[in-house]
Amino acid sequence: MSQTRRDWIRSSSLLAGAGLVLGREALALAPAEAAAHLAPRGADGRIRMAFNENPYGPPQSAREAMVRYWSEASLYMPAGIPELQQLVASQWGVPADHVLVTQGSSEGLDATAATFARGGELVGASPTYDRLLAYGEALGASVVTVPLDAALVHDLPAMERAVGPFTRLVFVCNPNNPTGTVVDSAALEGFCTRVAPRAPVFVDEAYFEYVEVPGHRSMMPLVVAGHDVIVSRTASKIHGMAGLRVGFLVARPALLDRIRPYVMGFPNAMAVRAAIAAVRDSGAQVFVRRQNTASREAIYRALDALRLRYVPSQGNMVFFRTGRPVTEVIAGFAARGIDVGRPFPPMLDWCRVSTGTPQDTERFVAALRGVLA
Ligand SMILES: Cc1ncc(COP(=O)(O)O)c(C=O)c1O
């Protein structure tokens, strides 16, 4: 039995055991186990494998931090922001004034689009997580999309060729959503250093903490070196806080000063305290990463058994070829109580499924053959 298979069975029984423990007793578990026990389930019992959420939710340490700092709920300007800025800055090796804390990374994406979009072009891949591009388009920018290459990886040479005199910003999602693919770090560093003098490069690293490719690197060192590169991170994925809304932009202070006027608000004080605890909670991150890998591999095995094509993913999702309209596949899963990802044009015969708990994944795997029959 492979290591992964053993881990999978061990984690499945761990969760089954945790499921017998109720309420306060769960708090006595190690943080990661308690987080697993308290995993949110759809009230209607549906399986959520649609939104690249972390099915374990915030770690117990984050839940406790929100209670401990509850009195800060009465304050404007969350008191924890400087601490959170300092904490992530020291973990990521950037100065604290290079970090802007936002309401989820979505707010940072939107504010960046608003800063750079008007009267020009935005360049990005297709398909990708297109929030920044779509927001920019709504503000009047034209969007130039460059298809992923045959391996469903960002085609950096083609993207570089697409940068022209009207390009205002280039968007790179790494790992990419929906494919989970990563670009080679050295190639992306070269791309950023050549392109950034012509237009800032935005690198969305929402799934960075899931990546298992040896030598995979963040683009933050380029920010510190003074390049016009903007990196985003989020507490929504590895830290399981999608509903609490904390994200980060990392850029030179002069660039952040241009973006800041377009930021709509400020994060929730409790969410900031939760994020401080979650970022410190390396045990919970190890747990989530391990569970994510196990779910991904179980999904691969099921796809392999049906000879369905997929690209190995470095995120918390798997993108696989359905060979038929994905809308039918989505409906087929929905009828079995499982929600999978939306269509990603132009790849309309591919489906994105987010990873889940062992039980969620088992339900997905059991339904797969029937849906595709
Ligand atoms: C690549 C990517 N970036 C950003 C986000 C937005 O995340 P949030 O606003 O919760 O930080 C998502 C959400 O799925 C995503 O996939």
121-171 pLDDT tens trace = 999 999 999 999 999 999 999 999 999 999 999 999 999 999 999 999 999
- Pocket of ligand 1 from Cβ distances under 6 Å: 52, 104-106, 129, 173, 177, 204, 206, 234, 236, 242, 247
User: Closest Cα to atom 12, ligand 1: which residue?
Assistant: 206
Q: Give the residue, out of 130, 133, 177, with the most ligand 1 atoms within 8 A of its beta carbon, to mutate for a pocket test.
A: 177
Determine the distance separating the centroid of ligand 1 and the alpha carbon of 283, expressed in angstroms.
Answer: 23
pTM greater than 0.85: yes
Contact (CB, 8 A) for 373 and 308: no
Q: Name the superfamily (CATH) of residues 3-57+282-372.
A: Aspartate Aminotransferase, domain 1 (3.90.1150.10)
Q: Six-digit token pair at 110?
A: 């939107």
Confidence of residue 45 (pLDDT cuts 50, 70, 90): confident
Q: Which amino acid, one-letter code, is at 60?
A: Q
319 pLDDT band, cuts 50/70/90, is very high
What residue's CA is closest to ligand 1, atom 6?
A: 106
162 CB neighbour count, 10 Å cutoff: 17
Among 109, 129, 342, the mutation site with the greatest number of ligand 1 atoms within 8 A of its Cβ is: 129
Using the mean position of ligand 1's atoms as its centre, give its distance from the Cα of residue 91 in Å: 21
Task: Check pLDDT > 90 for residue 8.
Answer: no
Per-residue pLDDT averaged across 44-61, rounded? Answer: 94
CA-closest candidate to residue 270, choices 23, 58, 28, 88: 58
Mean pLDDT for the stretch of residues 282-308: 97
Rg (CA), the chain: 21
Say how many Å lie between the CA of residue 106 and the centre of ligand 1. Answer: 6
Residue 40: pLDDT band with limits 50, 70, 90: low
What pLDDT does 373 receive? 83
- CB within 8 A of 232, min separation 6: which ones? 105, 108, 109, 202, 203, 204, 205, 206, 247, 248, 249, 250
Closest atom of ligand 1 to CA, residue 246: 11
Distance 206 CA to ligand 1 centre (A): 6
Q: Which of 237, 233, 207 is nearest to 57 (CA)?
A: 237
What ranges do the domains of the chain cover?
A: 3-57+282-372, 66-280
Please identify, by atom number, the ligand 1 atom nearest to the C-alpha of residue 128.
Answer: 1
Residues 332, 326 contacting (CB under 8 angstroms): no
The answer to which of 36-40, 43-47, 337-341, 360-364 has the lowest mean pLDDT is 36-40
Note the pLDDT of residue 21.
Answer: 28
Q: What is the mean pLDDT of the chain?
A: 90
**Is residue 79's pLDDT more than 70?**
yes
In the CATH hierarchy, which fold is given to the domain comprising 66-280? Aspartate Aminotransferase; domain 2 (3.40.640)
Span of 13-27, 54-68, 208-222 with lowest mean pLDDT: 13-27
**49: which 2 tokens?**
């494998």
From ligand 1's centre to the CA of 67, what distance in Å? 26
